[in-house]
Structure 1
């Protein structure tokens, strides 16, 4: 048994199962790595085990995507969609053998996606899904290699502006909604504005989930049900609107909302068409003195960091900067300007 320094690194040359056993030779970059490998083999032999080098894992990405779905994806609301996305990404990469991938391969793949016009945000999500896929295999003991996606950090994105409507904007939008021929769009929009729910949560609401002056949203984005009080007039309208059991709004109202928004002349950032109602509720809630922890529960955010995006709208946000910041008093014309030594704090003559 020996560890020798060679031109290519530190070489381990050992017969762990005795003179008649298989000879194992491995080269490492450092002496410490070589020593750990040798000690590991000796420990296995001391425990009465026969050392057998691990066979190289030849499974490809799509096999690990299937493993992820069987272990974790099957229990997720969007599991099938994520599974299809993983398969698509594996196909774009040529469905390589996972053990052959390196972090630089992932960096090059990410750049290919960006060059193809895929947004940085989508690219970050894609790599996060692939990273989670391999992490599940490692956690389940199904893969012993390194996760090549783990070393690639997400692209830092500028914080997006969350648009909301002021009272005038709300009045203009809802005056257009009243003119819509869709029988449901007004109530769906009011639910979003008055409870901060997502459009899909309001659109798929069932009558039996509107009870005792409250609405309960189920099948939410994060899988957690939440209950929010309703204004009395909105509760009465909802109870009178639909059937006693079943979908409250059987007809989709998204297109009717889009048409009303276009007629109103209100311009919004991309991706915030119906979501502006949720942002408007949250923004007015904070501006009117509501606290962030309560808002987190109403919106159903899993972490407070998501809710903190609205903190700057609080009337007291960073107010201490005025209270505790340096004071400046404007002197009258002709006043002597007093200079101060920044080291001692004393006046300079």
Structure 2
């Protein structure tokens, strides 16, 4: 079979995939990161369908899909990537079913191998104090200070911070409205130190060639700051403060959640502040807290300490 013939046979499948991606973009209003992930996953599916000469959706049975996943796993694709890939295929078939294109979902009963869940890396309170201790009056440093304080004060995601506008705040910067995953809006409090840092930044913001009047945080060119710029500035600030590890924005969010949970013990409140739709996502921070308690126990409890010399 020629490539042209294969391409012609696959056209209806690719057309359906494109329609699903348009649905995610225009009707579900999915973020560009979500869309990019779906595009990557469904490109893998499309390429594999071509290699198998599959030209209609009913040909994609549960058995064939399971064999494909096993092949990908055998070639080194990690469990987390397999889970996301399977979720993308499952979502595609749910869409196709609603459109009356298919009757069954071959991915419905399949599951990827469970990945071992790594505990998030956090900074302790002394490290956070060192990171946030900056006395420079340079406008860009004051901007960075405000970003760092806001990350740690309110547990924002990188995309949430970058998307902030001047009118995102309420009641004298005491609360901020952020647009989280799935375009879900939530309102979180802003701590005193963060409010002070934001006010300092706003006092020098006009010193930059302001091109984006709405954006809270600007690049040195006056445009809305990019994700990469924020990541680089956080890493730079941490390096200048002698942090022992590579620091990134999500580590500050992890630190916010861990420290708040350790102090309050209120899992539901932390879930709300982080914007997690499922509390199981928040529960990983209870493992961090338990790990800390276990370390204290091992070092302090008479029965846990190993005696020196003879028993």
Give SS of 1:93's match: helix
**Structure of larger gyration radius:** 1
1:303 counterpart = 2:275: no
Structure 2 counterpart of 1:65, from 17, 20, 42? 17
Change (3 A) 1:85 1:61: farther
- CA shift for structure 1 position 86: 4.7
Q: What aligned pairs does 1:164-179 form with structure 2 within 5 A after superposition?
A: 164-175=122-133
Displacement of 1:291 after TM fit?
0.8
What corresponds to 1:214 in structure 2? 174
Counterpart for residue 225 of structure 1: 185
Offset of residue 91 of structure 1: 3.1
Number of the residue aligned with 1:282: 257
* 2:52 is equivalent to residue 77 of structure 1: no
Gaps of 5+ in 2: 1-8, 207-212, 220-228, 294-302, 304-311
- Tell me how large the CA RMSD over aligned residues is: 3.4
Whole-Å Cα distance in 1 between the matches of residues 146 and 10 of structure 2?
56
More strand per residue: 1
- Higher relative helix content: 2
1:293 corresponds to: 268
Deviation of 1:278 (Å):
0.6
Q: What number of residue pairs does the alignment pair up? A: 260
TM-score (ref. length: structure 2): 0.71
Encode CA deviations 1:286-331: one digit per residue, 9 max, x unaligned.
111241111111111112211222234568x99xxxxxxxxx9xxx
Which of 71, 96, 105 is equivalent to 2:64? Answer: 105
Partner of 2:232: 255
Cα distance in structure 1, aligned partners of 2:278 and 2:119: 19
Which residue is equivalent to 1:119?
Answer: 78
Say which SS state the counterpart of residue 107 (structure 2) adopts.
coil
TM-score by length of 1: 0.64
The 2-side partners of 1:139 and 1:201 are apart by: 32
The answer to whether 1:92 aligns with 2:47 is yes
Match of 2:225 in 1: none
Q: Equivalent residue for 1:151?
A: 109
Deviations 1:62-92 (A, max 9, x none): 2331332344442232364355335412332
Deviations 1:33-80 (A, max 9, x none): xxxxxxxxxxxxxxxxxxxxxxxx998542331332344442232364
Name the residue aligned to 2:201.
241
- State how far apart, in whole Å, the 2-side matches of 1:283 and 1:198 are: 15
Structure 1 stretches lacking a partner, 5+ long: 1-56, 319-327, 329-349
Q: Any idea what the Cα deviations from partners look like across 1:224-249, whole Å, max 9, x if unmatched?
A: 11112222342243245236951111
Q: Return the structure number with greater relative CO, CA threshold 8 A, min gap 6.
A: 2
Deviation at 1:192, TM superposition (A): 0.8
